[in-house]
Amino acid sequence: MIRRAALPALAALALLGGCNGPWSSDSDRPETAREFPPADRPVAPITSTKWSTEEARDRVNEADDIMDSADVRPGMTVADIGAGDGYYTVRLAPRVGATGRVLAQDIQPEVIERLADRVARERLDNVSLKLGAVDDPRLPAGSFDRVFMIHMYHEIGEPYAFLWRLRPALRKGGQVIVVDGDRPIAQHGTPFRLLVCEFEAVGYKLVSYDDKAHAGGYLARFVPDGKRPKPEDITVCKNP
């Protein structure tokens, strides 16, 4: 989970078959995820802490455009899930301003340590950091106006548990923002239909879709919809 893979590596990864298959048995899964159904799809491996260089992304105004599309405003509290090297974290911080907060999350301790150094070096006083898990973002309840998941969804090994546990972290009016490529998981993307199906399976609805080719794919916004299903009532989506 939670990495931004560089584009030049994508073709090679596809040729190498660089994806892990679905869990072969419950014994292979985290114990905390076993009340949820396993995903019927592969999981892309973590290959890099960035999806492209920051300079290249800034040249096409990626972060500002994505934040504008997500309607990120001063005073908001935002989570950057799979923050990696912090490309979005350090740009979200001035956008939400001194009255806002940014929580940068990742599942790799060494990544969190490097990002902590960057946050301290750039004196981002409104940023905090959190170590997550493959089946749980570990976000505080009722805390976030926006949750960003940028080029990392295809690396989530337990999407049903992860999204189910993410939902209570949203405030009223809160949204989950996903940016990913509409391509097979083997090519480090998430087919859009599969993304929508998995979100809907745990009680979200799609509110908008935007083509973001300059950011490597699409931007999808989701909000909670109705009651969260019980874990045993979740219907598994088929990988297209």
pLDDT tens profile 144-153:
999 999 999 9
Tokens representing 34 are: 């076993």
Count the neighbouring beta carbons within 10 Å of the beta carbon of residue 139: 21
- What is the pTM for the complete model shown? 0.87
* pLDDT single digits (tens) 19-31: 554 544 577 899 9
**Of all residues in the chain, what percent carry a pLDDT higher than 90?**
79
Segment 107-114 mean pLDDT: 96
44, pLDDT greater than 50: yes
Residue 239 predicted with pLDDT over 70? yes
Least-confidence region, from 39-48, 178-187, 200-209: 39-48
The answer to whether residue 11 scores a pLDDT higher than 70 is no
Position 6 pLDDT exceeds 60: no
User: How many CB atoms lie under 10 A from the CB of residue 117?
Assistant: 11
Say what the pLDDT of residue 49 is. Answer: 52
Q: Does 59 have pLDDT greater than 50?
A: yes
Considering Cα of 189, then 81, then 134, then 125, what sign does the dihedral take? Answer: positive
Domain boundaries, the chain: 54-233
Residue 172, token pair as written in the block: 């009223």
pLDDT tier for residue 1 given thresholds of 50, 70 and 90: very low
What mean pLDDT do residues 38-50 have? Answer: 77
What are the distances in angstroms from CA 89 to CA 60, 93, 165?
18, 6, 22
Q: Name the CATH code of domain 54-233 (choices 3.40.50.150, 3.30.930.10, 3.50.30.50, 1.10.3720.10).
A: 3.40.50.150
Name the token pair of 5: 């893979």
